[in-house]
Amino acid sequence: MSGQLAGKIAMVYGAGSVGPGWGNGKAAAVLFAREGAQVLCIDRDGAAAQETVRLIEAEGGTAHPFIADVTEEGAAHAATHACAEHLGNPQIVHYNVGVSQPGGIEDADLAQWRAVFAVNVEGAMLAASAALPIMKSAKKGAFVFISSVAAVASGGYQYASYEASKAALNRLSQTIAVAHAADGIRSNVIMPGLIDTPHVTHHIAGRATAAADLAARRAAAPPMRRQGTAFEVAQAAVFLASDAASYITGAVIPVDGGLSLTVPSA
Ligand SMILES: NC(=O)c1ccc[n+]([C@@H]2O[C@H](COP(=O)([O-])OP(=O)(O)OC[C@H]3O[C@@H](n4cnc5c(N)ncnc54)[C@H](O)[C@@H]3O)[C@@H](O)[C@H]2O)c1
C-alpha cells in the first residue's frame, strides 16, 4: 500500500458487516488502516466492530472498537471522545451506516420513515456535528458520506424513504462543504451502485427474491455488467479522505459501473 492516509486518524461509522464477507464500512475501515490511518471502528454490533479491529490488527494496523447506535443522542459525541482518548483527534469521519425499507408513498409507514431518516440523515448530521469543533480547531478535516445512486435514480422496487433520505444526505454533505470550506474541512459523498455485500445477500435477497436470481439481475444492470465490490467503494473513500483530494469538496461521486447513466429499455 502507498500510505495515502499515513498519520491520519479516522472514525468509521458502521465499520462492521451484517454477515460474513465484506460490507462497505468494513472494507473502508480495513483499507484506511492499510493506507496508514488509525481507525475507530464504530458499530452497534460489538462483535462486528471487534471483528474489523481484529482484521486490522492482524495486518499490523491500529484500531479500536466502539459500540454505539448512531440514532441515540450523545452516541456520536461519545464516539468522538473515545477516538480522541484512544487514538487521537479525528481528521477523517467516514459515515457508512445506512438502512432501507421497501415501500412507496401511498403505503408509507411514518414510524418506518422516521427510522430510515434517523439512521441515514440524522445519524450523519450528529456524526458531523460532534467532529466539527475538533476539525475546526485543527483547521483540517475530511468527511466521506456513503449515500447511494438511489439518491438520484429509481430501481425496480419502491424504496421511497431510502431514496429521499439518501438525497438528503447528499445535500447535507454539500451544506457542510460550503459552510466549513474556510475552516479547512472538506465533505464529499460516494453513491455506490449495485455492490455485492452481505447486506444484499442476507437481507434484501430474503425480502425480494432468491439470492442467486437477485445477484444475476444486479450483475446484468450496470454497463460494466457486474456488481461492484466493497473494496471498490472503499478505494474511492480513501482518495476522498486523503490529501490527494485537497481541492475536492461538495462532490457527489457515483461508484456504480455506469449504472446511474442508464435508463431501462422499454
Ligand atoms: N450494497 C449495496 O449495493 C449498496 C448500494 C448503495 C449504497 N449502499 C450503502 O452502503 C452502506 C452500507 O454498507 P454495508 O454493506 O457496510 O452495510 P451493512 O448493512 O453491512 O452495515 C454496516 C454496519 O452498520 C451497522 N449498523 C446498522 N445500523 C446501525 C446503527 N443504527 N448504529 C450503528 N451501527 C449500525 C451494522 O451493524 C453493520 O455492521 C449503507 O449506507 C448503504 O445505504 C449499499
What pLDDT score was predicted for residue 199?
87
**Any atom of ligand 1 within 6 Å of the Cβ of 187:** no
Protein residue with its CA nearest to atom 27 in ligand 1: 97
pLDDT tens across 202-261, in order? 766 566 567 788 899 999 999 999 999 999 999 999 999 999 999 999 999 999 999 999
Per-residue pLDDT tens digits for 98-131: 999 999 999 999 999 999 999 999 999 999 999 9
- Ligand 1 centroid–CA 43 distance in Å is 10
Three-class secondary structure of residue 11 per DSSP? strand
Ligand 1 centre from 24 Cα, in Å? 7
Please indicate, yes or no, whether the overall pTM of this predicted structure exceeds 0.95. Answer: yes
| Strand ranges of the sheet holding 63-67, from the earlier edge strand across to the other edge | 63-67, 38-43, 9-13, 92-95, 141-146, 185-192, 252-255
Which residue has the CA at smallest separation from atom 37 of ligand 1?
45
Q: Confidence band (pLDDT; 50, 70, 90) for 266?
A: low
Q: Which atom of ligand 1 is nearest to the CA of 99?
A: 43
Q: Is 188 in the pocket of ligand 1 (CB under 6 A)?
A: no
Whether 87 is in the pocket of ligand 1, judged by its Cβ within 6 Å, is: no
At 63-98, the pLDDT tens digits run 999 999 999 999 999 999 999 999 999 999 999 999
Question: Where residue 14 falls among pLDDT bands split at 50, 70, 90?
Answer: very high
Residues 191-204 pLDDT 10s:
999 999 998 877 66
Q: What is the mean pLDDT of residues 1-9?
A: 93
Positive or negative, the CA dihedral 237, 240, 243, 244 is positive
Ligand 1 atom index nearest CA of 22:
15
CA of 75 relative to ligand 1 center, distance in Å: 17
Q: Is the pLDDT of residue 145 over 90?
A: yes
150-184 exposure pattern, b = at least 16 Cβ within 10 A, e = fewer? bbebebeeebbbbbbbbbbbbebbbebbeebeeee
From the CB of 228, is ligand 1 less than 6 Å away? no
SS3 of 133-179: the string is HHHHHHCCEEEEEECCHHHCCCCCCCEHHHHHHHHHHHHHHHHHHHH
162 is catalytic: yes
Instruction: In whole angstroms, give the CA distance from residue 218 to residue 194.
Output: 6
CATH for 9-253 is 3.40.50.720
Domain ranges of the chain: 9-253
Asked if residue 126 has its Cβ within 6 Å of ligand 1, the reply is no
Are the CB atoms for 149 and 254 separated by under 8 Å?
A: yes
Express as a percent the part of the chain with pLDDT over 70: 97
Q: How confident is the model at residue 170 (pLDDT cuts 50, 70, 90)?
A: very high
The pLDDT of residue 202 is 74
